[in-house]
């Protein structure tokens, strides 16, 4: 039965497989993006536009939390897949128990550290000490810190349930969390009038429920690899292996948090001078918060397509079905690019309406800044699908280091100096222009790498065709 399911990756129509594998991944990704998206809509409507900037100040720290969840979660997921394939199920279960304890420990330490150094952390990213956004950020972050353990466990263990063949469990947990987040946002923000504190409590409760759902599954008889602390065999070598397997993705998340920090800090520095109002830094932060939420909602389906294509590409590359590899690769890029193009036109044609979705009573300064910033930042959006799918393609062909390099190229190697230099010479608008410039240059470099990789793939394809003709 399991062999038949795997064999379909090499025989079933590629387009049908892409749809089948991508839809659950897209659903999970979009649902995950809805947490921030919905929070911002409720806060923008029920509190004020400056509270949106407060939520953006917290993003780098949430991304660091996600990095730890990926370090332990993805690392353990890879170990589970390998150990199950080797028929070493007890070792897979021991790795899962280690993962649970690592996620719990990391969550507790992050909570304690965040609460002790809350003021210092917030002032590190805030535009200035009189910032109103800074006030909202502290209110939101103080509460969400208590839910760090739930966030890390639910997000980290979701990779482990997927690795043992239950992607639907992960998807249901994420959907449950997003739906509950919306419901509690409405109750706490609109009915109880708790403002950003209500958004924080809604997020914590939603993540707690997702955590309970996933834990209930991996403690049940349905799970292939079960969580059982009673049978834990502490082993530092397992911890090292987990961290080794998850380090690449975790590193990218850490770098992304630094990018977020630089963007936020630079917007705060240059906002007042660029927008000509005393709270220009706060306005710029609110605008970037809106742009970030819209950007993530557009790109999440692309990441879902990328995830869905990976097992198809990997299986057929390993089986030397290079025709199917090319079809899956071009199909994934086509679908991802169509989504990006649709998002590009929506952003370019309706930026004002999108801003009003978050801030119906937006100030003139916010309306002056955000639509223009949105158009500039997403100027290169149609190229993003190619960049994301192609970067991941090198993992499939056995060159993960190139994949990591290309991801780092876009997120830090090019972007970091651009933010500094463009900001120094052109102020706020230079900081805004750094993102599309980095995307465009990364696209060109990725294109060069993928050109030679595809040429090599076509040579392998010809060799296979020649061999079959001779046979």
pLDDT tens for the chain, residues 1 to 471 = 444 545 677 778 888 888 887 887 788 778 878 877 888 999 999 999 999 999 999 999 999 999 999 999 988 988 887 788 778 889 999 999 999 999 999 999 999 999 999 999 998 998 777 889 999 999 999 999 999 999 999 989 988 887 787 878 888 898 899 899 999 999 999 999 999 999 999 999 999 999 999 999 999 988 989 998 887 888 899 999 999 888 877 888 898 899 899 999 999 889 988 998 989 999 999 999 999 999 999 998 998 898 788 878 878 888 888 889 999 999 999 999 999 999 999 999 999 999 999 999 999 999 999 999 999 999 999 999 999 999 888 877 878 788 888 888 888 889 999 999 999 999 999 999 999 999 999 999 999 999 999 999 888 888 877 766 666
Spatial neighbors of 353 by CB under 8 A, at least 6 apart, are: none
CA distance 5 to 81: 16
Give me the pLDDT at residue 1, please: 43
Inter-helix orientation angle 322-349/351-358, to 10°: 80
CA distance 24 to 174: 11
Give me the pLDDT at residue 126, please: 84
Phi, psi of 277 (to 5 degrees): -130, 155
CA distance 94 to 100: 10
Give me the pLDDT at residue 209, please: 96
CA angle 90, 95, 96 (to 5 degrees): 95
> Which is nearest to 32 in space by CA: 209, 168, 178, 179?
178
Phi, psi of 397 (to 5 degrees): -85, 10
Inter-helix orientation angle 89-116/148-163, to 10°: 160
Q: Alpha carbon of 263 to those of 10, 33, 382, 433: distances in Å? A: 44, 20, 22, 11
Give me the pLDDT at residue 471, please: 60
Handedness of CA 52, 58, 64, 66 (dihedral sign): negative
Instruction: Tell me if 57 sits within 8 A of 260, measured CB to CB.
Output: no
Spatial neighbors of 294 by CB under 8 A, at least 6 apart, are: 37, 347, 354, 374
Q: Is the pTM of this model over 0.85?
A: yes
CA distance 155 to 67: 10
CA distance 356 to 72: 39
Give me the pLDDT at residue 330, please: 95
């Amino acid at each position: 039965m399991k062999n038949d399911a795997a064999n379909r990756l090499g025989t079933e129509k590629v387009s049908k497989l892409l749809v089948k594998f991508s839809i659950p991944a897209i659903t999970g990704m979009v649902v995950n993006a809805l947490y921030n998206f919905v929070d911002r809509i409720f806060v923008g409507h029920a509190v004020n536009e400056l509270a949106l900037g407060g939520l953006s100040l917290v993003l780098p720290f949430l991304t660091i939390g996600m990095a730890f969840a990926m370090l332990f979660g993805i690392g353990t997921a890879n170990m589970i897949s390998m150990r199950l394939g080797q028929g070493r199920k007890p070792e897979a279960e021991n790795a899962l128990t280690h993962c649970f304890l690592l996620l719990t420990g990391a969550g507790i330490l992050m909570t304690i550290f965040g609460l002790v150094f809350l003021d210092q952390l917030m002032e590190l990213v805030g535009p200035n000490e009189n910032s109103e956004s800074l006030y909202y950020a502290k209110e939101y972050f103080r509460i969400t810190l208590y839910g760090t353990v739930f966030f890390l466990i639910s997000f980290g263990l979701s990779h482990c349930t997927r690795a043992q063949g239950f992607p639907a469990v992960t998807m249901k947990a994420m959907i449950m969390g997003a739906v509950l987040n919306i419901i509690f946002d409405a109750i706490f923000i609109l009915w109880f009038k708790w403002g950003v504190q209500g958004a924080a409590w809604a997020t914590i409760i939603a993540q707690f429920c997702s955590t309970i759902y996933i834990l209930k599954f991996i403690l049940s008889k349905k799970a292939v690899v079960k969580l059982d602390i009673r049978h834990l065999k502490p082993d530092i070598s397992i911890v090292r292996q987990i961290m080794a397997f998850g380090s690449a993705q975790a590193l990218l998340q850490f770098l992304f948090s630094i990018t977020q920090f630089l963007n936020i800090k630079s917007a705060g520095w240059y906002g007042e001078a660029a927008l000509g109002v005393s709270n220009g830094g706060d306005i710029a932060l609110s605008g970037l918060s809106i742009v970030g939420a819209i950007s993530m909602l557009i790109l999440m389906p692309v990441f879902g397509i990328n995830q869905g294509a990976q097992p198809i590409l990997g299986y057929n590359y390993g089986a030397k079905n290079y025709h199917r590899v090319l079809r899956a690769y071009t199909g994934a890029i086509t679908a991802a690019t169509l989504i990006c193009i649709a998002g590009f036109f929506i952003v370019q044609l309706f930026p004002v309406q999108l801003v009003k979705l978050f801030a119906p009573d937006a100030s003139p300064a916010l309306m002056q800044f955000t639509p223009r910033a949105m158009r500039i930042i997403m100027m290169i959006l149609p190229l993003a699908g190619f960049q994301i799918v192609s970067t991941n393609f090198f993992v499939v062909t056995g060159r993960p280091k190139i994949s990591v390099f290309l991801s780092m190229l876009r997120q830090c190697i090019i972007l970091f100096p651009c933010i500094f230099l463009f900001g120094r010479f052109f102020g706020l608008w230079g900081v805004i222009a750094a993102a599309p410039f980095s995307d465009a240059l990364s696209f060109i470099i990725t294109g060069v790498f993928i050109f030679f990789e595809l040429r090599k793939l076509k040579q392998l394809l010809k060799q296979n065709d020649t061999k079959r003709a001779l046979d």
